[in-house]
Amino acid sequence: MSDRHLVSFLGTGCYQVTGYRLDEAGAVVETAHVALAIAELAAVDRVTLVASAEALAVHGQVVAAALAPRPVALREIPTGRNREELVRAFERLFAVFSEPCGELWVDVTHGFRTQPLLACACLSYLRQLGLAQGRPMRILYGRFLPEEPRISPIWDLSWLLELVDWAAAATLFVEGGRGDPLVRLLEEADRTLRAGLARRQAGDRWPRTRPVVRALSEYVADYQALRVQQLIAGEGAGRPGSARRLLDALEQFGEELSGHLPVAAPLLERVAEGLADLVAEDLADRDGLAALLALARRQYRQRRLLEAAAVAREGLVSLYAERAGATPGAAFDPQARRRAEAAWNAAERRAHRGHNPWSSARNDLLHAGYNRQPRKADALQKAVRSLLDHFAERLEQGVAQPAPRGRRILVTRHPGAVEWLRRRGLAPDRVVAHLDPAEVEAGDWVVGILPVHLAAAVVGRGARYFHLCLDLPEAARGRELSADELEACNARLAEFEVRAVEAEGDAPW
């Protein structure tokens, strides 16, 4: 839609002829009606005149006639002397501003008392609701100058709407952790600043604003996607985490950016608050885990409960992990991570009568309450708070050392298997013909040819399960095999991660 819609307020005063000019070097329109001047200077397609009943009676028809042949609509609104009138005026103004158009221009020159403020509030509300549909909006005010040469400028007050956009972006970032709108505003402001400098004095030194915008964009991307390694510790090669890079950019260039964009200054101060708590060199050491806790607490304050629970849970697991299982990236060992998870689960079950109370809240959030007893929202919030407190307590006690290698338990009735292991320097600490999973402890290595449910029980207790794999010919089945025969059958150990999946009712088939 390409039409330009002008909404102009009328008062009850006596309008005098003057020369209105929209741009400093632009054309001048001599008229007593600023709405007519804007309509001609801006090539407006249609006009809506908004006023109280008294103002419409005085000027409505006269101004409408002057605007002809453009379509003109008259809309009455209360004067806004009390709350009730303000509410009714808001409803009617909001309806006018919501009408479809290509561009919306609002002239508040003759707005009566509260009307210009109400117009700005309505436009801001419309934008924040996403109902403006990206259409340009401008707020104009004609400054009447009766003296010679009687050229009255029309001021562009549209920046007031941008200020409200900054306020909304600040709220989203500080209160909700969403930084995309703030990044967009900074990018647009940076482009506008550079375009203006290029037009006026291209030879001047470019402002050093881009590093802040780029660093904020990278930090927001990592924060919203929950990339904790990239956010806190970085990815090596001398490149710190995005929190550190943003903090450095603000320290180096924040003052210069604020000089060019004063509206951003107080917001950048809020952005910098607490960033140092999200900086560490190694996600696996105590400083890295403390940064995870700070991140989880920030997310909890922003009511990002799932993210807070996920970060706290992973931090607790890292307390039990070897380095390879606590550092995401190329060197990450998924099996080491699963061993740490099993060790954590085993420790929590020992401390809480056979169950881990800290997993349920994260799982309930992750699966959107798809279980038999979904918690209510307030109960989940308290559960996540308890999870964070537990993480803080465990971190205060110190980073747990990974459990030392436990016993090597061989489950077999065949002496040849025992000899085969010994030849490889893997002499078992214990050999049993039948395994009771209750006797297995976190850190144990269990070797054998176990049925699936027993292998899952072993892994569930924090142990590692190694399956003795054989390429067994049919003729060798059902008889005792020596160590040499096992060698001939390509005997080998393969570690398996097995877990039981809870199912309801009968088998699916």
Other Cβ atoms within 10 Å of 206 Cβ, number: 11
Contacts of 246 (CB under 8 A, 6+ apart): 212, 215, 216, 218, 219, 271, 275
Q: Which residue has the higher pLDDT, 403 or 82?
A: 82
Amino acid 302: pLDDT: 95
User: Comparing 463 with 182, which gets the higher pLDDT?
Assistant: 182
Question: Do the Cβ atoms of 137 and 158 come closer than 8 Å?
Answer: yes
Q: What pTM was computed for the model?
A: 0.76
**What are the tens digits of pLDDT across the range 149-196?**
789 999 999 999 989 889 999 999 999 999 999 999 999 988 888 887
The per-residue pLDDT for 11 is 94
89-115 average pLDDT score? 95
Q: Which of 87-91, 218-222, 381-385, 504-508 has the lowest mean pLDDT?
A: 504-508
pLDDT of residue 303: 94
pLDDT tens digits, one per residue of 350-388: 788 777 888 888 888 989 999 888 999 999 999 999 999
Asked whether the beta carbons of 5 and 101 are under 8 A apart, the reply is: yes
Tokens 């009408």 belong to 99
State how far the Cα of 174 lies from the Cα of 132, in Å rounded to an integer.
Answer: 24
Q: How confident is the model at residue 296 (pLDDT cuts 50, 70, 90)?
A: very high
The closest of 32, 35, 8 to 18, measured between CA atoms, is 32
Written as six digits, the tokens of 294 are 């700070």
Write out the two tokens for 128: 């924040």
Give φ, ψ of 181 to 5 degrees. Answer: -60, -40
> Which residues share a beta bridge with 495?
466
Q: Which element (helix H / strand E) includes 49?
A: strand 46-51
Q: How far is CA 425 from the centre of its chain?
A: 51
| Secondary structure letter of residue 444 according to DSSP | -
The pLDDT confidence band at residue 504, using thresholds 50, 70 and 90, is: very low
Cα angle 498, 503, 509 (rounded to 5 degrees) comes to 105
Mean pLDDT of 90-109: 96
pLDDT single digits (tens) 115-160? 999 999 999 999 988 888 778 999 999 999 877 778 999 999 999 9
Contact by Cβ (8 Å): 274, 294: yes
3-state helix/strand/coil string of 388-434? HHHHHHHHHHCCCCCCCCCCEEEECCCHHHHHHHHHCCCCCCEEECC
- Ordered by where they begin, the domains of the chain are 4-157 (3.40.50.10640), 173-397 (no CATH), 408-496 (no CATH)
